[in-house]
C-alpha cells in the first residue's frame, strides 16, 4: 500500500489538492490491482481531517501510469464540476516536458492527428480522420535543446486524448525516451519514461484567482540530467 506521506503535496485549500504524481503509479484503480494515487490521497484526507467515512476527492484529469508530474484534485463536488468546465472551455492549460529519442525535423510544430484507442490492448493508433471511433488530437511542441540523438521538448496539449503525446511524437519518428509501449525497438532498461507534466494553469473554482503550479522532472535521472531544464524554462517564462 502506498504511504501517502511519500507523496509531495504542492498546495491544499478547502477546495483543491495539488500534488506531484510519482511515475509508474496509476492515477486511479485499474486492472492491475495496484494501489493508486486517488485512493492514497483519500486515505490522507480521511486521516488528516478524521473523517468517519470515505473522503471525497474528485478526479478531474489524468496522467498515464509511466508519466509523473503535477496534478490537481477537487475536494468538493462543486470544485470538481467547475474544474471540468474549465477543461472544456480551454481555461485549464497543461504543459509537459519530454525527451525524445531522435530529433524532430521541425524545431517547432503544431501536430494534428486522428487517434483511435484499442481498449482491449490499451494501445492508441494514429489513423485516418474518417475512421470510426477516432478522436482528434492537437498538440504543439518546441525543441528547447538537443544532445546527440536526444531532444528536450516543451509541449502544450489542446486535447486530452489517451496516450496522446506519446503517439503523436512516435508518428513524427521521435518516440519518448524510455517508452516501452510506443518506443522504436527495445526500450532502455532501468529508466523511467521521459515525459513529465511540468505545469498547470487554471482559475480557482471558487475565488477565480489564476493559479499556476510548476514542478520539475527529477534532475539527477537519465535523460533529464543531460539538460539544464530550470534555466531553459526560466528563459521561456
Contact 153, 177 (CB under 8 A): no
User: Would you give per-residue pLDDT tens digits along the chain (237 residues)?
Assistant: 889 999 999 999 999 999 999 999 999 988 787 899 999 999 999 999 999 889 999 999 999 999 999 999 999 999 999 999 999 998 999 999 999 999 999 999 999 999 999 999 999 999 999 999 999 999 999 999 999 999 999 999 999 899 999 999 999 999 999 998 998 765 566 789 999 999 999 999 999 999 999 999 999 999 999 998 888 777 665
Sign of torsion, CA 45 50 51 52? positive
- What span, in angstroms and rounded, lies between the C-alpha atoms of 57 and 185? 39
Between the alpha carbon of residue 91 and those of residues 39, 58, 82, 200, the distances in Å are 27, 18, 11, 10
pTM: 0.93
The angle at the Cα of 22, spanning 34 to 202, to the nearest 5 degrees, equals: 115
Q: Taken in order 94, 91, 106, 65, is the CA torsion positive or negative?
A: positive
Contact criterion met (CB below 8 Å) for 209 and 203: yes
In DSSP notation, 111-169 reads EEEEEEEETTTTEEEEE-TTSTT-EEEEEEEEEEEEETTEEEEEEEESS--TTHHHHHH
Amino acid at each position: 500500500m502506498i504511504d501517502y506521506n511519500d507523496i509531495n503535496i504542492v498546495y491544499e485549500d478547502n477546495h483543491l489538492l495539488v500534488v506531484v504524481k510519482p511515475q509508474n503509479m496509476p492515477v486511479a484503480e485499474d486492472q492491475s490491482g495496484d494501489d493508486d494515487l486517488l485512493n492514497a490521497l483519500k486515505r490522507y484526507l480521511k486521516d488528516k481531517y478524521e473523517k468517519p467515512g470515505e473522503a471525497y476527492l474528485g478526479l478531474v484529469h489524468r496522467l498515464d501510469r509511466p508519466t509523473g508530474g503535477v496534478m490537481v484534485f477537487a475536494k468538493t463536488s462543486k470544485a470538481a464540476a467547475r474544474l471540468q468546465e474549465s477543461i472544456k472551455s480551454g481555461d485549464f492549460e497543461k504543459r509537459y516536458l519530454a525527451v525524445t529519442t531522435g530529433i524532430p525535423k521541425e524545431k517547432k510544430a503544431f501536430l494534428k492527428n486522428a487517434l483511435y484507442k484499442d481498449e482491449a490492448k490499451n494501445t492508441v493508433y494514429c489513423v485516418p480522420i474518417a475512421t470510426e471511433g477516432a478522436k482528434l488530437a492537437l498538440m504543439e511542441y518546441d525543441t528547447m535543446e538537443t544532445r546527440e540523438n536526444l531532444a528536450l521538448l516543451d509541449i502544450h496539449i489542446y486535447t486530452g486524448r489517451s496516450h496522446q503525446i506519446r503517439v503523436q511524437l512516435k508518428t513524427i519518428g521521435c518516440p519518448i525516451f524510455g517508452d516501452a509501449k510506443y518506443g522504436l525497438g527495445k526500450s532502455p532498461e532501468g529508466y523511467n519514461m521521459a515525459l513529465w507534466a511540468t505545469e498547470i494553469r487554471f482559475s480557482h473554482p471558487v475565488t477565480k484567482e489564476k493559479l499556476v503550479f510548476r514542478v520539475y522532472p527529477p534532475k539527477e535521472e537519465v535523460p533529464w540530467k543531460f539538460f539544464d531544464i530550470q534555466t531553459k524554462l526560466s528563459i521561456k517564462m
